[in-house]
Amino acid sequence: MTGTTAAHRELGNTGYEIFVGALSILSLVNLVLVVLLRDRATQTVVEAIDLLLSIVFLVDFAARLRRAPSRSGYFLRQFGWADLLASLPFPQVKVLRVFRLVRVIRLLRRYGAVNIGRSLLSDRAGSALFTVLFIGVLVLEFGSLGMLRLEHAQPAANITTASDALWYTIVTMSTVGYGDTYPVGNSARALGVGIIVVGVGIFGTLTGWLANFFLTPHRTQPTAETPATLREAQQRIDQMSQLLDQQRATLAELQALLRKRG
């Protein structure tokens, strides 16, 4: 139990850790895509997404360093230095992102599949939010790549650069639809419909998460992983509440007797 509790403290939010692990996998895939893709526009799309991932990883490093029990221990013994270097948008150090992925997998294995499932179910809104955020990143990248691929042979195409593709995907996902860039081929239009549907789902989930966050009272329920001192304090508070209820009942009986005698 002690190892599981320690892993949970280091793990933080389970849904967030899975989200970071998935982004790490995507970043490693992008390292291969940059080499395989020959068209400069598609390479630029991958590089733009990788820059976004670098920002996320840098924020993640700062958050881990801030909440680490020992900052020097995290930075030196837990490969925090690798997280910092891997967050930089330089091709030479991006392969170090495998350390972040390995640590997330190690923490999830220590925490256990049953505890992971319970954590995800107990925070369904947060888990759904991280899921749609990851789907949004995938749609932004591969939707833009697909749009460039489908439109490159169209004579009247106006989505011809990485900037055009990224702009169109972002505007379509947000359901704004300025109309300054648009697909002209049937296959590209079908892809655009898919991007719209995903965008509606993302913003619908985000709206639901915000409503749940602001309207639902956040109460900490005692669990088997709650520290013993905290459970004891909660038990004492419950006992004191019961004693106060008994005293109120006794006072009410005394007052009733006094009224009868009066």
**Which of 174, 198, 215 is where one domain is finished?**
215
User: Do 103 and 22 belong together in one domain?
Assistant: yes
User: Do 35 and 45 belong together in one domain?
Assistant: yes
User: Do 78 and 117 belong together in one domain?
Assistant: yes
Q: What is the pLDDT of residues 111-134, one digit of tens each?
A: 777 777 777 777 777 788 888 899
User: Do 62 and 146 belong together in one domain?
Assistant: no
Q: Which structural domain, as residue segments, surrounds residue 127?
A: 123-215
User: Do 115 and 128 belong together in one domain?
Assistant: no
Q: What is the pLDDT of residues 190-235, one digit of tens each?
A: 999 999 999 888 888 888 777 777 776 554 444 444 455 666 776 7
Residue 255 domain-assigned (yes or no): no
Containing H/E element for 157? none
Q: What span, in angstroms and rounded, lies between the C-alpha atoms of 138 and 135?
A: 5
User: Do 87 and 170 belong together in one domain?
Assistant: no
Residue 220 domain-assigned (yes or no): no
Q: What is the pLDDT of residues 53-109, one digit of tens each?
A: 999 999 989 988 888 888 888 888 877 888 888 888 887 788 888 888 887 787 777
Residue 248 domain-assigned (yes or no): no
pLDDT over threshold 80, residue 50: yes
User: Do 162 and 85 belong together in one domain?
Assistant: no
Q: What span, in angstroms and rounded, lies between the C-alpha atoms of 209 and 97?
A: 29
Q: Residue 53's closest CA among 45, 202, 211?
A: 45
- Mean pLDDT over 173-177 rounds to 84
Burial class (CB in 10 A: 0-12, 13-18, 19+), 162: buried
User: Do 147 and 98 belong together in one domain?
Assistant: no
User: Do 111 and 128 belong together in one domain?
Assistant: no
Q: What span, in angstroms and rounded, lies between the C-alpha atoms of 49 and 46?
A: 5
The domain that contains 187 carries what CATH number? Answer: 1.10.287.70
**Domain count for the chain:** 2
User: Do 128 and 118 belong together in one domain?
Assistant: no
Q: Interhelix angle for 40-67 vs 97-111, to 10°? A: 50
Looking at residue 230, its pLDDT comes to 62
Looking at residue 260, its pLDDT comes to 73
User: Do 108 and 174 belong together in one domain?
Assistant: no
Residue 201 domain-assigned (yes or no): yes
Handedness of CA 153, 155, 157, 163 (dihedral sign): positive
Residue 185 domain-assigned (yes or no): yes
CB atoms under 10 Å from CB of 67, counted, come to 12
Better-scored residue on pLDDT, 237 or 62 = 62
Q: What span, in angstroms and rounded, lies between the C-alpha atoms of 240 and 232?
A: 12
